Amino acid sequence: MIRTTSKIAYKEINEDGTSSNQKKTIANAVNVTDSNKGLSLRELSRITGIDINAVSGRVNELKKEEVLKECDKRKCRVTNRLITPVRLMSHAK
Question: What pLDDT is attached to residue 3?
Answer: 72
CA gap 27, 79 in Å, rounded:
21
Question: What pLDDT is attached to residue 93?
Answer: 41
Per residue in 78-93, pLDDT (tens digit) is 999 999 999 999 754 4
Alpha helices in the chain (DSSP H): 4-15, 18-33, 41-48, 52-64
DSSP 8-state secondary structure symbol assigned to residue 75: E
Per residue in 16-72, pLDDT (tens digit) is 678 899 999 999 999 998 678 899 999 999 999 999 999 999 999 999 999 999 999
Residue 17 Ramachandran class (φ > 0 left, ψ -120 to 50 alpha, else beta) = left
Neighbours of 25 (CB within 10 A): 17
Per residue in 52-68, pLDDT (tens digit) is 999 999 999 999 999 99
Question: What pLDDT is attached to residue 45?
Answer: 97
The answer to whether the beta carbons of residues 42 and 51 sit under 8 Å apart is: no
The mean pLDDT of 2-8, rounded to a whole number, is: 66
Q: Is the pTM of this model over 0.85?
A: no
Q: Which CATH architecture has domain 4-92?
A: Orthogonal Bundle (1.10)
Q: Hey, which residues does 35 pair with through a beta bridge?
A: none
